Amino acid sequence: MTADSQSHGQKKDKVLPFNFLSQNELAWWPYQSLSKSLLRTHRNTSALLEINRLLVDEMRDIARREQDFVLNLSEKILNRRADSGDGKRANVLPPEAVDEIFETAINGIRQFGQAVADAQVRSIEAFRQQAREAEKAASHSQAAE
CA distance 48 to 130: 8
Between 25-82 and 95-144, two packed helices, what is the crossing angle to 10 degrees? 170
pLDDT of residue 70: 92
What is the tens place of the pLDDT at every residue in 56-84?
999 999 999 999 999 999 898 888 766 66
14: left (phi over 0), alpha (psi -120 to 50) or beta: beta
Query: Which pLDDT band holds residue 93 (cuts at 50, 70, 90)?
Result: confident
Q: Is the pLDDT of residue 22 over 70?
A: no
Measured from the Cβ of residue 90, the count of other Cβ atoms closer than 10 Å reads 12
CA 132/CA 140 separation, integer angstroms: 12
Q: How many CB atoms lie within 10 A of CB 88?
A: 7
Tell if the pTM clears 0.85, that is, is over it.
Answer: no
Q: Considering only residues 9 and 49, tell me which one the structure prediction assigns the higher pLDDT.
A: 49
Q: What was the pLDDT predicted at 31?
A: 72
Q: Judge whether residue 87 has pLDDT over 70.
A: no
